[in-house]
């Protein structure tokens, strides 16, 4: 499987297999955006890409892992690494960028559908953690490490829990749809986390 390299410039003499892979990913990305994951079939992707179904199954074991690759480049590229010198500003910028990417957009629907699909597709669940959750958290961890380095929060803070608080809360509104992802929501979520973290509540109790 593996993420396809997508160079910015078309080269002459591109190998046939790379052309096929790009055509498949483009077709899958279009179908995902137009109709959503539930309606997307390998048959449709093959037909739109002009390839045989076996050409797809040779590269991707399930439609979920194919959709993941089609989704990935777009999504991670839209998530910045803010570095304003202030934890509250950095977290606000990161969460605002995420909300902008997912609220009412095809990307948001694809994100929700991929998490949904991962609940019953173990290959996709593993790929999702390795290729979306992992890289996104590596980026957000830096924001918290910068805050530790500046002395804003204790160096024993549980940064994993702080990241779960920030994005888990936001994913919750995306997936459950009970309340909107407003800017006031972003500001209050960040304010509670920053106040708690600065108070040392994410660190082990001092003996």
1 contacts 61 by C-beta, under 8 angstroms: yes
What's the min distance (Å) between Cβ of 79 and a copy of itself? Answer: 16
User: CB neighbours (10 Å) of residue 201?
Assistant: 16
Stretch that binds a copy of itself, among 11-19, 47-55, 64-72, 154-162 (CB under 8 A): 154-162
CA–CA dist 112, 181 (Å, integer): 14
- Among 115, 135, 141, 148, interactor with a copy of itself by CB under 8 A: 115
Q: Which two tokens stand for residue 76?
A: 């991670």
- Among 19, 133, 145, 150, interactor with a copy of itself by CB under 8 A: 133
What's the min distance (Å) between Cβ of 188 and a copy of itself? Answer: 5
- Among 112, 123, 135, 141, interactor with a copy of itself by CB under 8 A: 112
- Among 20, 31, 45, 189, interactor with a copy of itself by CB under 8 A: 189
Q: Is the dihedral of CA 5, 116, 105, 132 positive or negative?
A: negative
How many Å separate Cα 170 from the centre of its chain? 12
Q: Does 42 bind a copy of itself (CB under 8 A)?
A: no
Q: Does 150 bind a copy of itself (CB under 8 A)?
A: no
60 contacts 40 by C-beta, under 8 angstroms: no
Residue 86 DSSP class: -
Q: Does 95 bind a copy of itself (CB under 8 A)?
A: no
* End-to-end C-alpha distance for the chain, whole angstroms: 49
User: CB neighbours (10 Å) of residue 171?
Assistant: 16
Binding site for a copy of itself (CB under 8 A): 36-38, 112-113, 115-120, 125, 128-129, 133-134, 137, 158, 160-162, 164-165, 167-173, 175-179, 184-185, 188-189, 191-197, 199, 201-202
């Amino acid at each position: 499987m593996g993420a396809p390299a997508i160079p910015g410039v078309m080269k002459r003499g591109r190998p046939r297999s790379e052309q096929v892979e790009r055509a498949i990913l483009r077709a899958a990305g279009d179908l995902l955006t137009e109709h959503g994951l539930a309606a997307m079939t390998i048959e449709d992707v093959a037909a739109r890409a002009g390839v045989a179904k076996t050409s797809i199954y040779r590269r991707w074991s399930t439609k979920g892992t194919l959709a993941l690759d089609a989704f990935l480049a777009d999504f991670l590229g839209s998530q910045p690494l803010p570095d304003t010198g202030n934890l509250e500003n950095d977290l606000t910028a990161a969460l605002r960028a995420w909300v902008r990417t997912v609220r009412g957009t095809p990307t948001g629907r694809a994100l929700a559908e991929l998490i949904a699909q991962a609940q019953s597709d173990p290959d996709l669940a593993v790929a999702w953690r390795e290729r979306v959750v992992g890289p996104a958290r590596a980026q957000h961890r830096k924001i918290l490490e910068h805050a530790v380095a500046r002395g804003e929060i204790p160096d024993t803070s549980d940064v994993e829990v702080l990241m779960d608080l920030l994005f888990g809360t936001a994913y919750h509104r995306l997936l459950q749809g009970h309340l909107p992802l407003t800017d006031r929501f972003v500001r209050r979520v960040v304010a509670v986390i920053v106040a708690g973290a600065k108070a040392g509540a994410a660190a082990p109790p001092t003996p």
